[in-house]
């Protein structure tokens, strides 16, 4: 890898995939936004294809060709492409259809995230109702030929720059949290440190063999050292603290007891540490509410850590609609009432606004 000065070393490994993608996307959007004397669309299309390919290869991390990964690529690709078409298309009817495509592919992503009811509800309200009424308005209001509304854009350069600066900031925060190379190095070192211990414990062996399999005193002593002191990631700091407690209090007391007790303690503790590293890997950057009064009607209690599976996802109830209903009519009952009232008020308001007065 290229050696960089240490002052930007902390930032550059994170930034290198983001920068080129965003730059290509920015150029593509500026070229494609409507203006009276625009360059041919091929230039913008080429830049946007390059940005999409580079972004798909570097920003997204699927891990192997699973069906879920392929579907994710397909749906998110369609969503982003038709989002771009929506903001650059000169014909508003085509733009509305591109928006319908955005909604449909987002619904595909909802389905991948086990939100089947939301998928149906979103398709019905957006693609079914909103798009159709807007196409109706477009038919009413569309004027023929060139129009200021469709062939000009306001400050394309400044607005696109502002949008992409916002996107860069969002992506940077996401990468610092979820793809931080420092955290990944620490987690890999923890895995390497725990691997021989897990192996020693997993084998069915007599108690004294387990005790002799490793220098356990050294193992427990070195476990907190693997996490560097003063790490900015709160999950890793908590991990270091818990490993220190294991070494300082509990292992110190067990050392003097019989081999059976020691082996029992070692088995339990190694499994606990293994699980703690697994949870920390999938909850980097999580903020947890500390409240004790949060209800369990909506699934796992928000203040409790879910049991992450191998993909880093908590268990979801299979009956999506039934559980969503239970969540809505217990935790969010008042909000449901307010939503209904809002719909009624909006209906009355829309009729009052659009009413043609005795013409």
Partner 1 sequence: MLSNYLIVGAILFALGLIGFLTRRNLIIMFLCAEMMLQGVALNLVAFARHRGNLQGQSFTLFIVTVAACEAAIALALILVLYRSSGSLDVSLWQEMREPDQDATLDEEPLPPPLPEEPLPRLTPAGREPRQPEETSHV
Q: Which of residues 105-134 bind partner 1 (CB under 8 A)?
A: 106, 109-110, 113-115, 117-118, 121-122, 125-126, 129-130, 133-134
Stated length of the chain: 359
Say how far apart CA 67 and CA 65 lie, in whole Å: 7
DSSP state at residue 11? T
Cα-Cα-Cα-Cα dihedral sign, residues 331, 333, 338, 342: positive
Q: How far is the CB of 325 from partner 1 (least distance, A)?
A: 10
Q: How many residues bind partner 1 (CB under 8 A)?
A: 104
Tell which residue, 86, 89, 96, 81, has the closest CA to residue 48.
Answer: 81
The interface with partner 1 within residues 279-308 (CB under 8 A) comprises 282, 298-300, 302, 306-307
Indicate whether 316 belongs to the interface with partner 1 (CB under 8 A).
yes
Indicate whether 67 belongs to the interface with partner 1 (CB under 8 A).
no
Site track for partner 1 across 189-208, x = CB under 8 A: --------------------
Q: CA torsion, points 96, 23, 19, 105, in degrees to nearest 10?
A: 20
DSSP state at residue 64? S
User: For partner 1, which is the closer residue by CB, 77 or 244?
Assistant: 77
Structure tokens at 202: 């997993």
Q: How far is the CB of 42 from partner 1 (least distance, A)?
A: 18
List the one residue from 49, 62, 70, 198 that touches partner 1 (CB under 8 A).
Answer: 62
List the one residue from 1, 2, 6, 37 that touches partner 1 (CB under 8 A).
Answer: 37
User: For partner 1, which is the closer residue by CB, 81 or 213?
Assistant: 81
Tell which residue, 40, 61, 41, has the closest CA to residue 49.
Answer: 41
Yes or no: say if 139 and 92 are a contact pair by the CB < 8 Å rule. Answer: no
The window from 71-79, 209-217, 223-231, 237-245 that contacts partner 1 (CB under 8 A) reads 71-79
- Placement of tokens 């540490």 in the chain: 273
Site track for partner 1 across 317-356, x = CB under 8 A: x--x--xx--xx--xx--x---x--xx-xxx-xxx-xx--
What single string gives the DSSP state of each residue in 94-135?
HHHHHHHHHHHHHHHHHHHTT-HHHHHHHIIIIIIIIHHHHH
Q: CA torsion, points 71, 72, 74, 78, in degrees to nearest 10?
A: 140
Say how far apart CA 123 and CA 108 lie, in whole Å: 10
Indicate whether 47 belongs to the interface with partner 1 (CB under 8 A).
no
User: For partner 1, which is the closer residue by CB, 61 or 203?
Assistant: 61
User: For partner 1, which is the closer residue by CB, 12 or 295?
Assistant: 295
The interface with partner 1 within residues 157-176 (CB under 8 A) comprises 159-160, 162-164, 166-167, 170-171, 174
Indicate whether 141 belongs to the interface with partner 1 (CB under 8 A).
yes
Residue 142, phi then psi, degrees to nearest 5: -75, 125
Yes or no: say if 48 and 77 are a contact pair by the CB < 8 Å rule. Answer: no
Q: How far is the CB of 125 from partner 1 (least distance, A)?
A: 5
Yes or no: say if 283 and 308 are a contact pair by the CB < 8 Å rule. Answer: yes
Site track for partner 1 across 220-249, x = CB under 8 A: ------------------------------
Indicate whether 103 belongs to the interface with partner 1 (CB under 8 A).
yes
The window from 42-50, 93-101, 249-257, 272-280 that contacts partner 1 (CB under 8 A) reads 93-101
List the one residue from 46, 83, 207, 212 that touches partner 1 (CB under 8 A).
Answer: 83
């Amino acid at each position: 890898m290229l050696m960089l000065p240490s002052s930007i070393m902390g930032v550059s490994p994170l930034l290198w995939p983001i920068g080129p993608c965003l730059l290509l996307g920015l150029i593509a959007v500026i070229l494609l936004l409507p203006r009276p004397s625009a360059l041919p669309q091929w230039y913008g299309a080429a830049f946007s294809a390059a940005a999409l390919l580079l972004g798909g290869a570097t920003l997204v991390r699927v891990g192997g060709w699973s069906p879920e990964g392929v579907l994710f690529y397909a749906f998110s690709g369609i969503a982003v492409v038709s989002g771009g078409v929506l903001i650059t298309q000169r014909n508003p009817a085509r733009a509305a259809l591109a928006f319908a495509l955005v909604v449909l592919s987002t619904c595909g992503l909802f389905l991948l995230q086990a939100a089947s009811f939301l998928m149906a509800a979103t398709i019905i309200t957006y693609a079914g109702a909103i798009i159709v009424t807007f196409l109706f308005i477009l038919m009413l209001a569309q004027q023929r030929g060139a129009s200021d509304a469709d062939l000009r854009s306001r400050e394309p350069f400044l607005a696109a720059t502002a949008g992409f600066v916002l996107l860069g900031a969002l992506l940077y925060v996401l990468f610092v949290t979820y793809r931080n190379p420092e955290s990944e190095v620490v987690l890999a070192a923890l895995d390497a440190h725990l691997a021989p211990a897990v192996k020693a414990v997993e084998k069915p062996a007599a108690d004294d063999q387990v005790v002799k399999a490793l220098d356990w005193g050294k193992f427990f002593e070195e476990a907190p050292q693997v996490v560097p002191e003063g790490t900015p990631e709160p999950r890793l700091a908590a991990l270091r603290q818990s490993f220190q407690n294991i070494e300082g209090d509990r292992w110190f007391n067990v050392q003097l007891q019989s081999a059976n007790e020691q082996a029992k303690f070692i088995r339990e503790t190694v499994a606990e540490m293994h699980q703690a590293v697994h949870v920390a890997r999938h909850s980097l950057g999580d903020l947890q509410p500390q409240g004790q009064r949060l209800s369990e009607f909506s699934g796992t209690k928000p203040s409790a850590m879910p049991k992450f599976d191998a993909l880093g996802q908590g268990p979801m109830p299979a009956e999506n609609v039934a559980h969503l209903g239970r969540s809505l009519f217990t935790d969010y009952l008042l909000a449901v009432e307010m939503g209904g009232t809002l719909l009624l008020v909006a209906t009355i308001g829309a009729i009052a606004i659009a009413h043609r007065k005795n013409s």
